Chains A and B, each alone.
Chain A
Amino acid sequence: MSTSWGSSGPRSVLLAGLGNPDRGDDGFGPAVLARLARLSLPEAERIVCARPLDLLDRWPGRRLAIVVDAAMGEEPGRLRRLEPLCQGLPRPTACSTHGLGLAEAIDLGRSLGLLPARLIVYAAEGLDFSPGAPLSPRVAAAVEEAAARIAAECRG
């Protein structure tokens, strides 16, 4: 998690960007969070996070948590909005490690009582996850729309 010194106390909304900005479209989450940082959302705490499991420390007590991530898909840049507490989240085949993914973090949060009251996931389907690659153009084009929709959810 890219939390650094001097973070403020918990607010009612958590906006979390998942992903690695140095891995092509995997940087979608951090890119949306960077865009959201320029908007005035006084209720929201914003973090960029590399390990979904770390969200378990940040979710409890939140009215709303929105996670922004990239997803494997067929149509680059297509934006998906999911409410995993209502409809579940597809669990991809083991994607690393040491890696417990977002779906596992949500399942763990459920059994340990660490989920926010409401959880929304925005995921953009990605095309290129190569090391060092930038966002592909269609994924980059989805950043603005995702940020606008997320800001509206926060204010709503």
Chain B
Amino acid sequence: MAVRKLTLEALARVEGEGSLELSLHEGKVETARLKIFEPPRFFEAFLRGRALSEVPDIVARICGICPVAYQMSAVHALEQGLGIALGGPLRLLRRLLYCGEWIESHVLHIVMLHAPDFLGLPDAIAISRDHRAEVERALTLKRAGNEILRLLGGREIHPINIRVGGFYRLPTPSELSALRDKLEKAGQEAVALLRWVATFPMPDCERDYEFVSLRHPSEYPMNEGRLVSSRGLSCLPEEFDAEFEESHLPHSTALYCRLRRRGSYLAGPLARYNINFDRLSPRVQSLAREAGLGPSCRNPFRSILVRSVEVLFACEEALRLLSLYEPPEAPSVALPAIPGEGHAATEAPRGLLYHRYRFDREGTIEEARIVPPTSQNQASIEEDLRLWAERHLSEPEESLRDRCEQAIRNYDPCISCSTHFLRLQIRRR
């Protein structure tokens, strides 16, 4: 058996470390294994024994790019276990905070990390030379997202103002007024960003995914809703274990999450968009159509366009929320001292994020469970890679490596760890 081994020193523009091994035989890709290392499992263990009030600050540390997502899934799960549900202005502020994270996370990925693939440029520095206005636009948008996090979260990374039951501090009217001005400008920039991304050449590649995302009765989903799939799944977050199963495979420290009885599925912007197009405003729908997107999109490379639509949505939604905001009487509600168990799923920028906690009467965490989006998408990424690599097997290996990198970046994966390389091994026999 002739085995040829190729090592890719760095898959830049992906969070953290992972490696990819392709096994090729007679013009076919036999296996594609994405090996990733994932820290949330340790978090599940060391959350045990901590006070539930500490959970939002601890889980924020899981990710520097999407800390709000971890905080939101945590507070919603814990509040469900306590039998409380926030409404009115506190709920509104949480959704506004999530808009900020979607904007900054999506814009970073779209312009700094993903766009180079479509423009044939090595990195964001090269983009800034050839497309200066677009990078300036990205920084303006990112700043607006950061501003929301700074105002509502207390700081931009690992926010410190989120608590079970609400917030520690509420924004003042003048702070919100200043934010409104920035978001109005950001909304205009988001339209221009979408129009720019719509000019990118898109590879022709469609897959018949089973999409999974939250579905809310009236909103494009962020903090709440049923778990819905494009093939008929509809369940509550507390039924997660009845419908989904996690398994460990030897090549990866991340657990694979699959739908029971059906297998892999896709979570993230593409899934949200396909399931919830009708929840976007007529204006956003119209601008999406103008950018070449219909109500359905099954091309993973076009996820960059869908992310751009979601940036536009998040800017518009943030402004809508600001216009509705009336300060609550208090920044948080009182929590009962009862034992409980709660579940929640929210929509992190890169997909569904499920949390479950069990705690005792003193509010001490007895058990924690966190299922992040990248582990949910791991099987789907591998299937994309198998299809995509097979189509390009005749190309030189360097080109094939580039293709695989781009296919992985479609997912904006968060593969955090202590070292930072993706090694690609191609085995031919």
A residues near B (Cβ < 8 Å) are: 1-5, 50-51, 53-54, 56-57, 93-100, 104, 107-108, 111-112, 131
Question: Is the pair B155, A4 in contact by a Cβ cutoff of 8 Å?
Answer: yes
Determine whether B391 belongs to the interface, using a CB cutoff of 8 Å to chain A: no
Question: Is the pair A94, B421 in contact by a Cβ cutoff of 8 Å?
Answer: yes
B residues near A (Cβ < 8 Å) are: 9-16, 64-65, 108-109, 112-113, 123-125, 128-129, 132, 135-136, 139, 143, 146, 150-151, 154-157, 169, 414, 418, 420-421
Residues of chain B contacted by A93 (CB below 8 angstroms): 9-10, 420-421
Known: A51-B157, A95-B420. A111 touches B125 (CB 8 A): yes
Residues of chain A contacted by B64 (CB below 8 angstroms): 50-51, 97-98
- Of all chain B residues, the one with the shortest Cβ separation from A109 is B128
Residues of chain B contacted by A5 (CB below 8 angstroms): 151, 154, 169
- Of all chain B residues, the one with the shortest Cβ separation from A131 is B418
Question: Is the pair A3, B136 in contact by a Cβ cutoff of 8 Å?
Answer: no
Residues of chain A contacted by B14 (CB below 8 angstroms): 97-98
**Shortest CB distance A6–B (Å):** 10
- Of all chain B residues, the one with the shortest Cβ separation from A57 is B143
Known: A57-B143, A94-B10. A107 touches B155 (CB 8 A): no
- Cα–Cα distance between A49 and B136 once the two chains are bound (Å): 21
Known: A95-B420, A97-B16. A4 touches B125 (CB 8 A): no
**Shortest CB distance A88–B (Å):** 13
- Of all chain B residues, the one with the shortest Cβ separation from A7 is B150
Question: Is the pair A57, B129 in contact by a Cβ cutoff of 8 Å?
Answer: no
Question: Is the pair A50, B157 in contact by a Cβ cutoff of 8 Å?
Answer: yes
- Cα–Cα distance between A111 and B128 once the two chains are bound (Å): 6
Known: A100-B112, A104-B123. A111 touches B156 (CB 8 A): no
Residues of chain A contacted by B146 (CB below 8 angstroms): 1, 54
Question: Is the pair B150, A3 in contact by a Cβ cutoff of 8 Å?
Answer: yes
Question: Is the pair B157, A108 in contact by a Cβ cutoff of 8 Å?
Answer: no
Residue in A97, A99, A112, A131 with the greatest tally of chain B CB atoms within 10 Å: A97
CB-contact partner of A112 in B11, B132, B155, under 8 A:
B132
Main secondary structure of the interface of A (DSSP, over half): loop
CB-contact partner of B136 in A96, A107, A112, under 8 A:
A112
A-B contact pairs, 10 of them (CB 8 A): A3-B155, A5-B169, A53-B112, A54-B146, A57-B143, A94-B421, A96-B420, A98-B109, A104-B124, A108-B125
Question: Is the pair B9, A104 in contact by a Cβ cutoff of 8 Å?
Answer: no
**Shortest CB distance A58–B (Å):** 11
Question: Is the pair A98, B129 in contact by a Cβ cutoff of 8 Å?
Answer: no
Question: Is the pair A1, B156 in contact by a Cβ cutoff of 8 Å?
Answer: yes
- Cα–Cα distance between A100 and B128 once the two chains are bound (Å): 13
- Cα–Cα distance between A56 and B132 once the two chains are bound (Å): 14
**Shortest CB distance B41–A (Å):** 14
**Shortest CB distance A48–B (Å):** 10
- Cα–Cα distance between A11 and B319 once the two chains are bound (Å): 31
- Cα–Cα distance between A95 and B15 once the two chains are bound (Å): 9
Question: Is the pair B157, A1 in contact by a Cβ cutoff of 8 Å?
Answer: yes
Known: A57-B143, A97-B15, A112-B132. A4 touches B154 (CB 8 A): yes
Question: Is the pair A57, B112 in contact by a Cβ cutoff of 8 Å?
Answer: no
- Cα–Cα distance between A51 and B139 once the two chains are bound (Å): 13
- Cα–Cα distance between A98 and B150 once the two chains are bound (Å): 19
Known: A50-B64, A108-B135, A112-B135. A96 touches B15 (CB 8 A): yes
Residues of chain B contacted by A56 (CB below 8 angstroms): 139
Known: A93-B9, A108-B124. A54 touches B16 (CB 8 A): no
Question: Is the pair A54, B156 in contact by a Cβ cutoff of 8 Å?
Answer: yes
Residues of chain B contacted by A98 (CB below 8 angstroms): 13-15, 64-65, 108-109, 113, 414
Residues of chain A contacted by B151 (CB below 8 angstroms): 5
- Cα–Cα distance between A58 and B328 once the two chains are bound (Å): 34
Instruction: Supply 6 further A-B pairs (C-beta < 8 A) apart from A98-B113, A100-B124, A112-B132.
Output: A3-B150, A94-B10, A97-B15, A97-B420, A98-B108, A111-B125
- Of all chain A residues, the one with the shortest Cβ separation from B39 is A131
Known: A96-B16, A96-B420, A104-B123. A111 touches B10 (CB 8 A): no
Question: Is the pair A57, B139 in contact by a Cβ cutoff of 8 Å?
Answer: yes
Residues of chain A contacted by B112 (CB below 8 angstroms): 53, 100
- Of all chain A residues, the one with the shortest Cβ separation from B158 is A50
Question: Is the pair B421, A107 in contact by a Cβ cutoff of 8 Å?
Answer: no
- Cα–Cα distance between A56 and B112 once the two chains are bound (Å): 14
**Shortest CB distance A61–B (Å):** 15
Question: Is the pair B143, A94 in contact by a Cβ cutoff of 8 Å?
Answer: no
**Shortest CB distance B365–A (Å):** 20
- Of all chain B residues, the one with the shortest Cβ separation from A106 is B125
- Cα–Cα distance between A4 and B154 once the two chains are bound (Å): 5
CB-contact partner of B125 in A50, A96, A104, under 8 A:
A104
Residues of chain B contacted by A99 (CB below 8 angstroms): 15, 420
- Cα–Cα distance between A51 and B420 once the two chains are bound (Å): 16
**Shortest CB distance A30–B (Å):** 13
CB-contact partner of B156 in A3, A94, A131, under 8 A:
A3
- Cα–Cα distance between A9 and B102 once the two chains are bound (Å): 27
CB-CB nearest 3 A-B residue pairs: A111-B128, A94-B12, A107-B125
CB-contact partner of B128 in A2, A54, A94, A112, under 8 A:
A112
- Cα–Cα distance between A50 and B15 once the two chains are bound (Å): 15
